Structures are given as structure tokens and as C-alpha cells.
Amino acid sequence: MKTMITIVGLGPGNKDSLPPANLDVLRQARRLFLRTEVHPVVDWIKRQGILFESFDRYYEQADNFEEVYNLIKDDVLEAAGAGPVVYAVPGHPLVAETSVELILGDAQQRGIPTAVLPAMSFLDAMFAALRINPAGGLQIVDGLRQDARDLNPALGAVVVQVYSRLIAADVKLALLEVYPAEHRVVLVRAAGIPGEEKIESIPLYALDRFDWVDHLTSLYLPPVQEPGVKKSGRYPLDGLVDIMSRLRGDGGCPWDREQDHHTLTPYLLEETYEVLEAIQQEDMYKICEELGDLLLQIVFHAQIAKERGFFDINDVVDGISQKMIRRHPHVFGNLRVQDSDEVLANWEQIKQTEKDGDARPSESILDGVPRGLPALLRSLKIQARAARVGFDWPDCRGAMDKVFEECQELKDALETGQREEIEQETGDALFAVVNVARLAGVDPEVALTAATDKFIRRFNYIEQNASLTGTDLRDMTLQEMDRLWEQAKKR
């Protein structure tokens, strides 16, 4: 007997919405499965003498919906091994039906032929009941997956599978992160089913206050249109991209239109250092502000590239998203790792295989560290690269001995008075100190920045005291300044 899985839509709940072709398949099925009997049209199907098996038992047995859908998928595929089966679901099979997605995916891998018979979706009934034109832009999210926080409130949205007051409460909390609490939303139950349809316009904060919410309930979120209201809890990136496009376009800003990748380079570097400074100060508000300035530079460069036909911000986001997934097989795949060291080793190996799309190793493990980095940061990255293949001190003690050795060589060079030799030994000593910092778990860039700031604070103390006594710093002796320096240290 030929293996075959036919997936049938039952429509939104009214028997008149069940296509005759779908009804014929149900009647002729050798073995018929229903995801659930809890659907208005099922009682009518029973009266037609159609026999079926339902998976409602799994909703009681399983710990979560994901487990339910996987159990259903396994049963349907197992039954298909013995002959053709029909699997029927409420509404349209390809609209908010996770079990169908799982079945179709596994069936394709196993070479089992499938057929999908569509039916009217509950969304169609909802559009009719609320007079919504989806062509104007509509987002659809699954309330069970709690991805409502990814919505853009500037567009209309439907949250499906708001099965209970408990789920409605969870959805409300997620939506309140991006929508005003007073925003009017529409709760819809049993759309298109005569005698059972309920439509209630309510403020978002009241979403979980209705005891009639059940498996036939969905939520419609009209676009946020009030002036002055933030369009998203995390302003959509599209808005910033549109602003930059306008600045660079006809009638835009003359200065912005004159810029290119090279002229923007100093600003990119400056904004990066301002972010680092804000982090060093642990000023969360400033970090937020400076990250925004840095993001503007990224969008600026992406807009210039778009105008030249190379790439746009979507390519940038997609590229880094794919890279992060690819380089984290221990999170997004089946790879197992023991610690962060193993993660870094896998990261480097994956980076090598990405080059030219094959597994050819790069010429050196040290390749790829930009020469344009500050020297301190570049030396740190070079040392870390070498350490990943075992070329490293076992602990700080050996590295510290190397610092003493290099300092002695620097001292000897100073005695010779040879500038080139002094420069070389100075670099060796700095490189050795960076090694000690790395092995001690200290970022040398951060440490040196803190030391510089500390010097500034203490020197400012000397300047302030000199000013209070009406003394010019150039008239003070080194001993006088050193005395104030020690006072500053104690303060």
C-alpha cells in the first residue's frame, strides 16, 4: 500500500466553510487523525458518521506545546509507514499550525509524499469581521512562542493562539514592552462562526481580564498612530535607515551628501573610543547614547554602499546573523563543548573553513588581526591567537620574568644612547607587559586608560592647589609638586 500523508484544513469552524473536496477526503480516509476535537465543526463531522482519532490526549500528557506537536508528528509519520493517512487541522493547514510544519519537514526528509488541501483560515474570517485589508501591511505572530516583542507597532498585527487567560497575560506583558498600555486592541473569538463570534475593543492593559478567552481567540493590534508615541520599545532600525536615506538624498543635508567611506573613518574611530570611555566610566546612560552614535556610523556606511550598488543594511544584519549562527554550532546545532576555551578553538576553526568556502587553512593563524588597531590592542590579539595553539606561558610567573628581562635590556639600550635600539627594547618591554596582563585576565587597554585617567586626576589636584596659592606650575620645584602628588594619592 502506497505511503501518503494528506493534510486537510477544516476551516474556521462553520461547516459551510469546509470545502466539499476536503469533506470528501475526510469521508474516504482509511485512517483519519484530527489534531483536536475541540473545534466547532468536529461535532458536525461526527454526525456525518466519519471516524477519526484525535490527539487531544497529548495536551494533557505533555509538559509544553512543543512536546505536543512533536508527539503528533511522530504518530502521523509512523502511521504513514503502514499506508496513506489523513491529518486534519482547524483553519488553513499552513497558517499557525506548527504540527503541520513539523510533519511536512520530516516527511520530505524521509521521502514520504504529501498533499495539502487548503481551507478558509481563521485569519480570513477575522479580516471580514474587522474589515481589515491585509495588503496595507500586517504582521502575524504566535502567542505561544512569545515572539510578540519583535513586532513593529507602526504596522497592524495579529497575535494568534491566545488560548487562555494565562497566555493572554503572558502576551500582554510582552506587548507592553513595545505598545502603550492604553492602546486600543481588539480581542476576537470564533470569528465567522454564527452565534459564537465575540469581538471586544479594549485597552491593552485589560487583555487578560476576559473569562471567555479560549482556543478560538486571537488578538488584533491596530497600528500605533498617536503623535509623540514611541513606535517601538526598541525603535525599528528601518526608521534610522530612512532618516539616513533622506539626509543623503535630494534636498538632504549638504554635509552628509559629501561624505564617503574614507571621510567618515575618523568619526567611526572617534565614536568607537567614546563608547569605550563610557564603558570605562560605567555610565549606562552614556553607553546608550554613544552606542547610538556608533550605530549611526554603521548605517551611514551601509547607505553609501547601497547607493553604489554593493550592499545595504539588510545585508549587513543578515551577514552577521548567519555568521553568529554558523560560528555557534554548540548553541544552534548539535555540537557539545566543555568550556569557553573549546568554544574559541571551534570559532577559529570555523573561521578558517569560511575562507573561500572551503577548509583550506589561512597562511598564518595570526592573519586577520587588523594593523589599524591600536598597538596595545593589536599586541593583545596577536598573543591570544598564538596562545590558542599552545604557544604561551603556563602562568603569569614566566611572563613576569620576561618583563624583568626586557626591562634590563631596555636599561642597557638606554646606556648606549642608540635611538633605534631603545625603540626596539621599549616595544619588547611593552609587549611583555601586555602578556602579563592577558594571563592575569586584565585588559591592558582598559588598565592603561584607567592609569592615564588616574594621572590626570592627580595632576589636576596639583594644578588646583597651585592656583589656590597663586603659584605658576613652572615656578614650582619638583619636590613641591611631588608633595602635592602624594597628597592626591592619599585622597
| pLDDT digits 0-9 by tens, 335-345 | 888 888 888 78
The tens digit of pLDDT for each residue in 236-251 reads: 687 889 899 999 999 9
142 and 90 in a single domain? The answer is no
- Confidence band for 357, pLDDT divided at 50, 70 and 90: low
Q: Which of 120, 151, 168 is the last residue of a domain?
A: 120
> Does residue 62 fall inside a structural domain?
yes
Percent of the chain scoring above 70 in pLDDT: 95
Q: Is the pLDDT of residue 472 over 70?
A: yes
Judged against a pLDDT cut of 70, whether residue 360 lies above it is answered with no
What's the mean pLDDT in 290-300?
A: 95
Residue 359 has pLDDT above 50, yes or no: no
Whether residue 165 sits in one domain with residue 83: no
Give tens-digit pLDDT for 120-147. 998 999 999 999 988 878 898 888 776 5
Identify whether residues 11 and 111 lie together within a single domain. Answer: yes
- State residue 112's pLDDT score: 94
- Same-domain check for residues 427 and 460: no
Query: Do 204 and 248 lie in a common domain?
Result: no
Residue 76 lies in a domain: yes
Residue 281 backbone phi and psi in degrees, to 5? -80, -10
Domain membership of residue 346 (yes or no) is no
**Ranges 146-150, 286-290, 368-372: which has the least confidence:** 146-150
* pLDDT single digits (tens) 388-402: 788 888 888 899 999
| pLDDT band of 450, cuts 50, 70, 90 | confident
Q: Which residues span the domain enclosing 468?
A: 447-490
- Domain match, 113 and 184 both: no
**Mean pLDDT across the stretch 61-85?**
93
**What is the reported pLDDT for 149?**
58
Specify if 304 maps to a domain: yes
Answer whether residue 327 is part of any domain. Answer: no
User: Residue 490 pLDDT > 60, yes or no?
Assistant: yes
Say if 50 falls within a structural domain.
yes
Last residue of a domain, one of 67, 102, 120: 120
- How does residue 362 score in pLDDT terms, banded at 50, 70 and 90? low
Q: Could you tell me if 428 and 452 lie in one domain?
A: no
User: pLDDT at residue 234 above 50?
Assistant: no
79, 103, 120: which is the final residue of a domain? 120
Over residues 401-419, the pLDDT tens digits come to 999 999 999 999 999 989 9
Average pLDDT rounded to a whole number, residues 425-439: 93
The domain that holds 85 is classified in CATH as 3.40.1010.10
Q: Minimum mean pLDDT among 98-102, 198-202, 349-353, 464-468: which range? A: 349-353
Domain count, the chain: 5
How far apart are alpha carbons 52 and 46 in whole angstroms? 9
CATH code of the domain covering residue 188? 3.30.950.10
What's residue 431's pLDDT?
Answer: 94
84 and 141 assigned to the same domain: no
Q: Kindly state whether residue 349 falls inside one of the protein's structural domains.
A: no
Are 132 and 95 part of one and the same domain? no
pLDDT value of residue 228 = 40
Pair 128, 213 in one domain: yes
Confirm whether 229 is domain-assigned: no
Mean pLDDT within 114-119: 96
* Chain mean pLDDT for the chain: 88
Of 2-6, 25-29, 158-162, where does the model show the most confidence?
25-29
In the predicted structure, residue 114 carries a pLDDT above the cut 90: yes
